[in-house]
Structure 1
């Protein structure tokens, strides 16, 4: 796998890829890479206006890009369901779903459904979206993949089921870590349930981008009104971060490489796993805890009302 780049992706002609958060950062770079290989990319964006601007930029780089921008607000389960219904109606199948969008280290807010925002967007919104799109994924002519973007910050996370939405005590980084741990618990549990149900035509994989310089780092300082923190993030991005294009490589590898198996975790293999080319890695021990994963799955069903029909 040494030195793997997006050039090594196989042709994706006649395949449909759904990317959340496709208007910026890793999602924008991933969209362009998928389009270069001939995929039809459905850009799931909270803002259609920003999505259309990103699509126009992508078409400048890839003139024959087959793109469609659709509204999908992961902080609103009704929006998620409406988006998924539209995709199922208009496309015969979905071959790759990239659960990429996310928010990081923001002041405490709630989604339209009353969830703590980071858990609601990063995990529960994607849990619901994946469940709604599962029939379309199963309709793929080949092996469909669900790729969920986690983070090295999962290592600071703990699933606090007694205060899951951090109503009693909120720390922006601990809440972010919980949401990124949830991404991994979800991925591994989904793969186990797919395997148990003998659904061999859908595979669940997780990834993380290392430290990629994107707008994700700026939202928290901006919403906190901290000019000092914003300036610090800009310096850190410039000094420590790799480009968004390189940060997207683990997602692209997880989505397309032949050697990927269900339940894998892919990240950059360079210094402190923050930069470099993709490699298979191991997440922390808690992410593989089956009892925690089953409990999170049950809670996610209850919170979202979305059931997959896959037994534990």
Structure 2
């Protein structure tokens, strides 16, 4: 397959059902749009239903909208119940929605906003929908991380909610590191089932609304540099789309742009930080996430193994 993987490489998706969070704008919109154009039945899982309906109207194909507020576990449970009532299967769950560099604030359940939205909300949603995926051969959970997972890379178990010390960038980095650790531990648990895989992706540096909470001192420089450093949302969505649709993808892999420093370019297999592969931390994070969300997955902890570093490297 060509190194310059594009939406033209996406195979026919007819008969497949995809749920994409945060799909009314940016990366999620481009991801959902491309899947719908290839024939998938796509559900836009969004906080603002009106904006979701407007986004759906701009897409071609079978596209519907589901209300989902990842900052509220009640909303996550309600959305999961609604999806379970209307769908008999899910082929693709794409955990794309996220917040970045928010000021210190909490979710409805009292979690730090970035950790609660980016990680815990998606953790809960995945756990509540996974039994719609396990019977489906070839189904995938794709979780969107970020190059920011390397920023002060650690899961601060002694202060997960940033109550003693809070920094926007560090909190974002923790949430994106959690996305990867969740993916790797989920894949380890899924491996014995042989039907569903968990994969991660990141968009590099993309021009989206996600950076709107950047500190004021950075906004103007970033806006001026964006045309040089950033790629379009359509390009930024390609790693997610490849992770979701490329037949060669393996569980536990991580896809990102192939250019310098993974900032932009066509998607390829990449590696995450050494910290992201720490098995004991992955398993501790999983246990803590189950306790915080009250969601138990229909897959059990697997035996320890060297996975996923054996699946890492570059394509």
In the TM superposition, what is the alpha-carbon distance from 1:232 to its structure 2 partner? 2.6
Given that residues 94 and 139 in structure 1 are in contact (C-alpha distance below 8 angstroms), is that contact kept between their aligned partners in structure 2?
A: no
Given that residues 140 and 199 in structure 2 are in contact (C-alpha distance below 8 angstroms), is that contact kept between their aligned partners in structure 1?
A: yes
Residue of structure 1 equivalent to 2:78 = 82
2:161 is aligned with 1:160: no
Q: Distance in 1 between matches of 2:271 and 2:233?
A: 22
Q: Report SS of the residue matched to 1:12.
A: coil
Q: Distance in 2 between matches of 1:13 and 1:311?
A: 31
CA distances 1:154-213 after superposition (whole Å, capped 9, x unpaired):
111210000001100000000000000000000000000112xx2111100001000111
In the TM superposition, what is the alpha-carbon distance from 1:106 to its structure 2 partner? 1.0
Given that residues 107 and 220 in structure 1 are in contact (C-alpha distance below 8 angstroms), is that contact kept between their aligned partners in structure 2?
A: no
In structure 2, stretches of 5+ residues that fail to align are: 302-315
Residue of structure 2 equivalent to 1:211 = 205
Given that residues 131 and 298 in structure 2 are in contact (C-alpha distance below 8 angstroms), is that contact kept between their aligned partners in structure 1?
A: no
Q: Distance in 1 between matches of 2:225 and 2:169?
A: 17
Given that residues 218 and 233 in structure 1 are in contact (C-alpha distance below 8 angstroms), is that contact kept between their aligned partners in structure 2?
A: no
Q: Distance in 2 between matches of 1:256 and 1:301?
A: 29
CA distances 1:230-253 after superposition (whole Å, capped 9, x unpaired):
323322322210000000000000
Give runs of aligned pairs for residues 212-231 of structure 1, distance below 5 A: 212-221=206-215, 226=216, 228-231=217-220
Residue of structure 1 equivalent to 2:305 = none
2:186 is aligned with 1:182: no
Residue of structure 1 equivalent to 2:5 = 4
| Count of paired positions | 299
In the TM superposition, what is the alpha-carbon distance from 1:88 to its structure 2 partner? 1.1
2:199 is aligned with 1:199: no
2:104 is aligned with 1:108: yes
Residue of structure 2 equivalent to 1:46 = 47
CA distances 1:53-91 after superposition (whole Å, capped 9, x unpaired):
111222xxx3xx111111100000111111111111111
Q: Distance in 1 between matches of 2:45 and 2:184?
A: 24
2:34 is aligned with 1:33: yes
Residue of structure 2 equivalent to 1:136 = 132
In the TM superposition, what is the alpha-carbon distance from 1:3 to its structure 2 partner? 0.6
Residue of structure 2 equivalent to 1:281 = 270
In the TM superposition, what is the alpha-carbon distance from 1:218 to its structure 2 partner? 1.3
In structure 1, stretches of 5+ residues that fail to align are: none
| TM-score where L is the length of structure 2 | 0.93
| TM-score where L is the length of structure 1 | 0.94
In the TM superposition, what is the alpha-carbon distance from 1:40 to its structure 2 partner? 0.6
Given that residues 10 and 256 in structure 1 are in contact (C-alpha distance below 8 angstroms), is that contact kept between their aligned partners in structure 2?
A: yes
2:152 is aligned with 1:151: no
Given that residues 127 and 298 in structure 2 are in contact (C-alpha distance below 8 angstroms), is that contact kept between their aligned partners in structure 1?
A: no
